């Protein structure tokens, strides 16, 4: 038989679980998009270029073939060496981008240091495509 104290403890724990859900649900579009972008960048960083294309948004796949993507990354990213660090510079939720279908998109800029290039800037643009998926990537 449960005591009153057991019931109170159980109800308290249950209410804490209930409170945790709304806090997690409050994750912003920018947070979700950045998390997706960083997961995608880990594929690129590890040289899994084919898989990175597989994980892009439909608009990206419509603009560049998997083979073109692999060649472009091999030419641009491989010479930079390993990524040593990345720091968020900015991120902004936008409804549209020039020449692209209606969004939403999150434009994310990261300051990155690579083995063979310091002070690079990566611009990565996830689009809401069922879930947040990368629709553009540029590095300078």
Tens digit of each residue's pLDDT (9 = 90 or more) over 22-67: 334 457 999 999 999 999 999 999 999 999 999 999 999 999 999 9
Tell me if residue 135 falls in helix, strand or coil. Answer: strand
Predicted model pTM: 0.79
pLDDT category of residue 97 using cuts at 50, 70 and 90: very high
Domain ranges in the chain? 28-139
What is the rounded (10 degree) CA torsion for 62, 77, 51, 90?
A: -70
Residue 85 vs residue 10, higher pLDDT: 85
Class of the CATH domain delimited by 28-139: alpha beta
What does the radius of gyration of the chain's CA atoms come to, in whole angstroms? 20
Compute the distance between CA of residue 123 and CA of residue 7 in angstroms, rounded to an integer. Answer: 53
- What is the DSSP code string of 67-111? HHHHHHHHHHTGGG-SEEEEEEEEEEEES--TTS-S--EEEEEEE
- Residues whose CB falls within 8 Å of the CB of residue 91, separated by 6 or more in sequence, listed in order: 30, 33, 34, 106, 107, 108, 109
* pLDDT at site 27: 77
Average pLDDT for 70-80: 94
> Is the bond preceding residue 138 a cis peptide, omega within 30 degrees?
no
Q: Which residue reads 């997690």 in tokens?
A: 24
- Cβ neighbours, 10 Å, residue 27: 10
Residue 121: pLDDT band with limits 50, 70, 90: very high
pLDDT at 124: 98
> How would residue 89 be classed by pLDDT, with cut points 50, 70 and 90?
very high
The alpha carbon dihedral of 27, 61, 52, 96 has a sign of negative
Percent of the chain with pLDDT over 90: 79
């Amino acid at each position: 038989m449960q005591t009153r104290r057991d019931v109170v403890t159980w109800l308290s724990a249950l209410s804490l679980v209930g409170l945790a859900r709304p806090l997690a649900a409050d994750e912003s579009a920018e947070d979700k998009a950045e998390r997706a972008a960083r997961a995608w960048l880990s594929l690129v960083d590890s040289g899994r270029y084919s898989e990175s294309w597989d994980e892009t948004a439909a608009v990206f796949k419509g603009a560049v073939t998997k083979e073109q993507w692999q060649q472009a990354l091999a030419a641009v990213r491989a010479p930079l060496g390993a990524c040593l660090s990345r720091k968020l510079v900015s991120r902004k939720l936008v409804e549209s981008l020039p020449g692209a279908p209606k969004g939403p998109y999150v434009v994310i800029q990261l300051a990155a240091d690579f083995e063979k290039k310091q002070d690079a800037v990566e611009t990565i643009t996830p689009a809401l495509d069922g879930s947040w998926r990368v629709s553009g990537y540029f590095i300078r």
